[in-house]
């Protein structure tokens, strides 16, 4: 079965994707510099699938080491490129860190692909490229709005770099996946989201508050133009998202893409407010999430959710997990983490 390079494969979305790839029989090589993940994730992947993926502790910014890695695993057939920095606030403080990490990594991979005869590339992009869309649900044709952060800009520029590179070298093919808000964890609770320090994202803050690690969740604003005043997002189960990557890889390997660069929204098509998420989490898990309304967070989008029809029809992929199951899995993972910490 084909060998797939997964950069950022010990990260949150990466690790769930490695599991789904291995379940489908793919051979996986992970490259990760562990800057925002833990080597123990490999144990979780092995527990679930019975296979320990090959792992190389390399920074994708390091061209020479990446070149050697391609030599070592000589017949890689596709790359899924997750490795990137993703904290919006940090990117405002340290723009060059973000431009270097996210863009140099990408450029290195695209440069190394023809040298090592790798033709297929799946790129992690984000719905952040749409900014606040004028029309909802948002389709792939919606205009790209000026980025609100250096992080968001690296995703926009990254997409352009891929387009320009493939325009110049049509033997390469890429599928760009624009993620909405991934949440939840593998049903085994062996892998999940492992934020460093205080979480920026909503779901880990919810679960950490529910378990008592944080006193109170702050809800950023209740005066938006939405039914309950809080922001609306499209929350998608991370396992659904992971499965879309397997579909994308299979499509590339089978030579099925209709264009050299294809773009797909990965979302559920359902918009949910912050308050709805808290209420549903409390109900399905029977726990309280102490929270209070505070002011708006700078740079937040009021409402965004996906039109997933293109992915549904073309990829034959659809997000299938219920919201209830998704929120239960997030809670099971947090509880598992707490049990592990107690056992240590």
Cβ distance to ligand UD1 smaller for residue 13 or 61: 13
If phi over 0 gives left and psi between -120 and 50 gives alpha, with beta otherwise, what is residue 329? Answer: alpha
CA-to-CA distance for 138 and 305, rounded, in angstroms?
6
327 binds ligand UD1 (CB under 6 A): no
What are the residue ranges of helices labelled H in the chain? 12-23, 41-49, 63-72, 88-93, 95-98, 105-115, 150-168, 202-210, 238-253, 274-285, 309-310, 323-343
Number of Cβ within 10 Å of residue 342's Cβ equals: 7
| Residue number with CB closer to ligand UD1 (200 or 336) | 200
Nearer to ligand UD1, 185 or 231 (CB): 231
- How many residues bind ligand UD1 (CB under 6 A)? The answer is 21
Which of the 8 DSSP states describes residue 314? I
> What's the closest the beta carbon of residue 203 comes to ligand UD1, in angstroms?
6
Q: Which of 101, 126, 154, 326 binds ligand UD1 (CB under 6 A)?
A: 126
**Token pair 């033709």 is at which residue?**
119
Active site residue 151: yes
CB closer to ligand UD1 out of 214 and 251: 214
Binding pattern for the stretch 250-279 against ligand UD1, x by CB under 6 A and - elsewhere? ------------------------x-----
Q: Which two tokens stand for residue 268?
A: 């559920």
Q: Which stretch binds ligand UD1 (CB under 6 A): 46-54, 161-169, 294-302, 321-329?
A: 294-302
How far is it, in rounded angstroms, from Cα 31 to Cα 7? Answer: 5
Which of 12, 130, 151, 179 is the catalytic position? 151
Sketch the per residue contact string, 225 through 244, with ligand UD1: x for CB under 6 A, - otherwise. Answer: ------x-x-----------
CA distance 100 to 163: 19
The secondary structure of residue 127, as a DSSP letter, is G
258/292 with CB nearer ligand UD1: 292
Q: Which spans of this chain sit near ligand UD1 (rule: CB under 6 A)?
A: 86, 88, 126, 128, 152, 181, 200-202, 205, 217-220, 231, 233, 274, 297, 299-301
Looking at the annotation, which residues are catalytic? 151
């Amino acid at each position: 079965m084909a060998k797939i390079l997964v950069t950022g494969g010990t990260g949150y979305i990466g690790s769930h994707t490695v599991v789904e790839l291995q379940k489908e029989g793919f051979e996986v090589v992970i490259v990760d510099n562990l800057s925002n993940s833990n080597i123990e994730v490999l144990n979780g992947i092995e527990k679930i699938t019975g296979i320990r993926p090959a792992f190389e502790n390399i920074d994708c910014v390091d061209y020479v080491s990446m070149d050697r890695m391609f030599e070592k695993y000589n017949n890689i057939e596709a790359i899924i490129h997750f490795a990137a920095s993703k904290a919006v606030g940090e990117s405002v403080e340290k723009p060059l860190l973000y431009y270097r990490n996210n863009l140099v990594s990408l450029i290195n991979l695209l440069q190394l692909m023809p040298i090592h005869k790798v033709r297929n590339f799946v790129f992690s992009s984000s719905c952040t490229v749409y900014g606040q869309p004028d029309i909802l649900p948002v389709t792939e044709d919606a205009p790209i709005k000026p980025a609100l952060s250096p992080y968001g800009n690296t995703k926009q520029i990254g997409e352009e770099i891929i387009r320009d590179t493939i325009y110049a070298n049509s033997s390469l093919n890429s599928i760009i996946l624009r993620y909405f808000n991934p949440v939840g964890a593998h049903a085994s609770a062996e892998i999940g989201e492992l934020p460093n320090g205080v979480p920026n994202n909503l779901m880990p803050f919810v679960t950490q508050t529910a378990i008592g690690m944080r006193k109170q969740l702050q809800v950023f604003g209740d005066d938006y133009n939405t039914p309950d005043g809080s922001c609306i997002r499209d929350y998608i189960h991370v396992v659904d998202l992971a499965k879309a990557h397997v579909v994308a890889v299979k499509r590339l390997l089978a030579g099925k893409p209709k264009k050299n660069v294809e773009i797909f929204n990965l979302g559920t098509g359902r918009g949910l407010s912050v308050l709805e998420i808290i209420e549903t989490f409390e109900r399905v898990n029977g726990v309280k999430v102490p929270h209070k309304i505070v002011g708006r967070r700078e740079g937040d989008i009021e409402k965004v959710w996906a039109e997933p029809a293109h992915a549904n029809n073309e990829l034959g992929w659809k997000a299938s997990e219920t919201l209830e199951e998704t929120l239960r899995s997030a809670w099971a993972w947090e509880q598992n983490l707490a049990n592990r910490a107690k056992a240590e």
